[in-house]
Chains A and B, each alone.
Chain A
Amino acid sequence: SQTIHQWPATLVQPVGSPLSLECTVEGTSNPNLYWYRQAAGRGLQLLFYSVGIGQISSEVPQNLSASRPQDRQFILSSKKLLLSDSGFYLCAWSFLRGEANFGPGTRLLVL
Chain B
Amino acid sequence: AQSVTQLDSQVPVFEEAPVELRCNYSSSVSVYLFWYVQYPNQGLQLLLKYLSGSTLVKGINGFEAEFNKSQTSFHLRKPSVHISDTAEYFCAVSEKTSYDKVIFGPGTSLSVIP
Contacts and interface: CB of A to CB of B under 8 A. Distances in A.
B34 A99 contact: yes
Contact of B103 (A32, A42, A46): A46
Count class of interface residues, chain B: 20 to 34
B104 A44 contact: yes
A87 interface: no
Interface of B: 32, 34, 36, 42-46, 49, 51, 90, 92, 94-95, 99-107
Interface of A: 32, 34, 36, 42-44, 46, 49, 51, 57, 90, 92, 94, 96-105
Q: Summarize A's interface: helix, strand, loop or mixed.
A: strand
Contacts of B51: 97
A49 B32 contact: no
A90 B44 contact: yes
Q: Summarize B's interface: helix, strand, loop or mixed.
A: strand
Given A46-B103, A97-B32, A104-B42, 10 more contacts: A32-B100, A43-B90, A44-B104, A98-B34, A98-B95, A99-B34, A99-B46, A99-B49, A100-B36, A100-B92
A97 B98 CA distance: 9
A51 B42 CA distance: 26
Contact of A101 (B46, B100, B101, B105): B46
A104 B43 contact: yes
A64 B11 CA distance: 34
Nearest to B31: A98
Contact of B94 (A36, A51, A97): A97
